[in-house]
Structure 1
Amino acid sequence: MYAIRRSAVVLGAAALAAASLTFAPSATAAESPTRGCAYPRVCFYLTMSDWNAKDPNAGFQDLTSSWQNLGSASKGADMVLNTRNDDVAHLRVQTNSTGAVWNMCLPPNSAHQFGSAYTVTGICISTSSSC
């Protein structure tokens, strides 16, 4: 009889532990990918097909005090997605017709679509929570 009680206690403890694991908040659940872009990244999608397929071509997550130049996997992207909750992404954008360069701020948890008239050439992620 002792063996039966001991088994019941062990099984009960295992069930309780499993239940507590089931209800515990999960960091990965809170940080689930958005359109294939894992938190806390800023992702670039070269084409709308990549965006629709949730297949980013490049992602950046390091905070920097200066510009990071974009390589061929992200330069000229049609879509940019910022999955960060509290940090803005500054984007350096070039107007293709005139060559004029300007900066754009992408707020946390937002996306921006660029037309063919523009090329994104750089990124700088800041700890600022607003533009």
Structure 2
Amino acid sequence: MLAMAVAGACFGVTASPAAASPAAASPAQAAPSCPYPYVCFIKNDRIIGKFKDVTSDWQPLPSKPSAPLAVVNTRHDDVVRVRFTSGSVSCIPPKTTNHINGGQLNAVRISSSTRC
């Protein structure tokens, strides 16, 4: 489990609207909320890590979470970059959720840039 008190990103799983069923949970109930100004990592409907500091270097993710998971960037003006163990990098614009469907992450970096 990713447990961090450092700045960075949040992974979040957002629920898709369920078929019209009175017993189905609403998206707000099904997924945890990532608070501003964090970037959250969400897996299995649980926040497993969250970061908030802008850094010039990569911040390692000790648990190296694997897909499926989501990265939620609640920041208004900052992009988030996540690095996979393969070396590839994904950029997440402000106020965006990125669903990771494959691979394993090992680092995060919040940049003051407003665009990827």
> Normalising by the residue count of structure 2, what TM-score does the alignment of the two structures yield?
0.66
Q: Following TM superposition, by how much is the alpha carbon of 1:35 offset from its aligned partner in structure 2, in angstroms?
A: 4.2
> Which amino acid in 2 is paired with 1:128?
S
Matched residue type, 1:104: S
**1:123 and 2:114 matched:** no
Task: Tell me the TM-score normalised to structure 1 length.
Answer: 0.59
User: Aligned to 1:63, which of 54, 70, 76?
Assistant: 54
Deviation at 1:71, TM superposition (A): 2.2
Runs of 4+ in 1 over 6 A off after TM superposition: none
Deviations 1:71-94 (A, max 9, x none): 22x622511100000000011013
Q: Which has the higher helix share?
A: 1
Structure 2 residue runs of 5 or longer lacking an equivalent are 1-30
**Are the equivalent residues in 2 in contact too, given 1:83–1:108 (CA < 8 A)?**
yes
For residues 8-49 of structure 1, the C-alpha deviation after alignment (integer angstroms, 9 at most, x for no partner) is xxxxxxxxxxxxxxxxxxxxxxxxxx94111000000122xx
| Unaligned segments of structure 1, at least 5 residues | 1-33, 95-99
| Identity percentage of aligned residues | 36
Larger-Rg structure? 1
CA RMSD of aligned residues (A): 1.8
Amino acid at match of 1:127: S
